[in-house]
Structure 1
């Protein structure tokens, strides 16, 4: 295992069908004023809102509500939330929802007390908060799995005016202090959003897995997570109320992107960069933008990381190697991925997401090029992947 690294993750997790019972006690560690952020209001119809409010009242908190967090949080929404948090001098931001809501809470946490444009500093320039800047602590109650945002410092914001969707990975001071993970809270998520989350998990694992050539413990962990996800997702698409499957998927999602399996890895992330550029142009569901370009992308880079794609075929998909060339075996692994994607019902092309051929040049321009994968893409490579994904 090559490379040098440090690992620390400050998030305290409460997991299981009684996890929410720990919320009121955990809230006692923070000040009186809590900014409660959530999405369109589905938590009010499925009972989660009432449980959270009850815990907040039990803990003696003053609650300031900020609803309407969209699936792809915008700069306008960020500015509004930062102002509310600052004006009310809140002591904690409690995000109740999926990755977008938690991402949004993190963005507010670093923006409320920053005297400047947070989009420019944190997202465009990719700078960190100054050491003297106040950062509001964040906690989360997870209602949709996929992003792993409940245990990482990632925050993605969309600027519709410039057609840019940019992620920033903040340090320990921004990572949620605690997260409540009750698998039953994910049961009411619509099927399309559920499977989009499943692919987001798979993409997180693959983009760390498909990098490096050394014998790396992280790859063995990644293979186990992928096998678990594949198995449980097949059960969940047939019966979304299967607690065992949904709990395994929730746990896999958290470990897919809490930085553990990326240790010692250079990491790829080009699928995310292309997918986020598509999302900035279409506002399409994040997981679907990833699935829409993945097959074309992995076929494009396969020959540059042939050994890892052979391992992917045999270790993840159990494809027999006898009588096959490495190229054939690697292609069969990507084909197995495609078959699974069709089985669970995610997008396998981008026209279904609202992408037109006329958009491709602009999407390519909005795609940030990363250098951690088996091949550093050129703009022409990105256009080729986009054309093959139509």
Structure 2
């Protein structure tokens, strides 16, 4: 295992059925003014909103609501939340929802007292949080992003057509997250399988990098096998508590910085997928699924040893009488088979993308250098074209 690193994850997790009761204890640690963040209303339909507000009221909290947070949170919405938090002297931001709501909560947390342009400072320049940070707590209702246990916040700038993740660092990690797998039972299948692929993609983005014998890769292989098994079980029976609890726990550990230790990490699937989302407002996990296979098949020759290992250790491909290239290719074929079983989106044309849009999407994608191949804009366009034609 090469390289030096520092690992710290300060988020306290309350996991399992009825873990919402732990909210009483957590609220005693913060002041009276709570900003309650949630999405388009599903938490009201399933009763979670009523339960949370009942607890807040019993604890004597002043509730300021910030609702209608969209699945791809925008900079405009972030600015609304920043103003609301500052004007109401908020002591705790409580996110009740999925990754987008958690992302918005952390974005507000780290930027509410920023005197500069937060988009330029944190999303473009990539600085860690250095202004006053408002504590965040999460009540998770959808899994996939891992936002409940990290310091990142993904925001879309609708003017510049950019979707970027700011890494605010340890100060912006949620202080606590409440994770009850039963809260995910009512998710539509499309959202559930999208979240499952988001988890798988997070692991692959970190796995497909580096050439050393790294503990993180062994952990990742076990996690990927678990995602594959549990996602198929949940797709067959959405009320399978064991499968849903495994997926919820996997999502947190896939992106809580553990498996990136000692790794350069790739993240180009996310860069291309997020650029696609910025132009289409498509569901995040599905944009990842639509571009993953074209991307990985393109870079496979540059990281052949890792793709061979992926095929052998994750998918159980037999190496008998096969070249390294054939083994690696079969592993990606197995990945495709699993994706199709989950009915994941396999082409960006499903989001309304046309060939005329490819230049703009390719231009919006950030180019990173942690993977096995640094792409050019033309190569990104070719990958997008292969997805369009899939």
Report the TM-score, using the length of structure 1 for normalisation. 0.98
Alignment partner of 1:279 out of 273, 277, 280? 277
Alignment partner of 1:352 out of 350, 353, 360? 350
- Could you tell me how far 1:18 is from its partner in structure 2? 2.0
- Could you tell me how far 1:169 is from its partner in structure 2? 1.0
* Structure 1 counterpart of 2:38: 38
Query: Any stretches of 5+ residues in structure 2 without a counterpart?
Result: none
The answer as to whether partners of 1:270 and 1:369 remain within 8 angstroms in 2 is yes
Alignment partner of 1:200 out of 175, 198, 202? 198
* Structure 2 counterpart of 1:222: 220
RMSD value over aligned CA atoms? 0.8
Alignment partner of 1:146 out of 144, 147, 151? 144
- Secondary structure of 2:14's aligned partner: strand
Given the alignment of the two structures, is residue 97 of structure 1 paired with residue 97 of structure 2, yes or no? yes
Counterpart Cα distance in 2 of 1:264 and 1:108 = 30
* Structure 2 counterpart of 1:158: 156
- Could you tell me how far 1:44 is from its partner in structure 2? 0.6
* Structure 2 counterpart of 1:187: 185
* Structure 1 counterpart of 2:87: 87
* Structure 1 counterpart of 2:5: 5
Query: Any stretches of 5+ residues in structure 1 without a counterpart?
Result: none
* Structure 1 counterpart of 2:386: 388
- Could you tell me how far 1:376 is from its partner in structure 2? 0.7
- Could you tell me how far 1:20 is from its partner in structure 2? 0.8
* Structure 2 counterpart of 1:245: 243
The answer as to whether partners of 1:158 and 1:164 remain within 8 angstroms in 2 is yes
Counterpart Cα distance in 1 of 2:326 and 2:197 = 24
The answer as to whether partners of 1:146 and 1:253 remain within 8 angstroms in 2 is yes
Q: How many residues align?
A: 388
Alignment partner of 1:176 out of 174, 177, 180? 174
Counterpart Cα distance in 1 of 2:129 and 2:294 = 37
- Could you tell me how far 1:167 is from its partner in structure 2? 0.7
* Structure 1 counterpart of 2:70: 70
- Could you tell me how far 1:56 is from its partner in structure 2? 1.0
Counterpart Cα distance in 2 of 1:374 and 1:119 = 29
Alignment partner of 2:301 out of 300, 303, 328? 303
- Could you tell me how far 1:24 is from its partner in structure 2? 1.1
Report the TM-score, using the length of structure 2 for normalisation. 0.98
The answer as to whether partners of 1:226 and 1:316 remain within 8 angstroms in 2 is yes
Counterpart Cα distance in 1 of 2:129 and 2:332 = 40
- Could you tell me how far 1:128 is from its partner in structure 2? 2.6
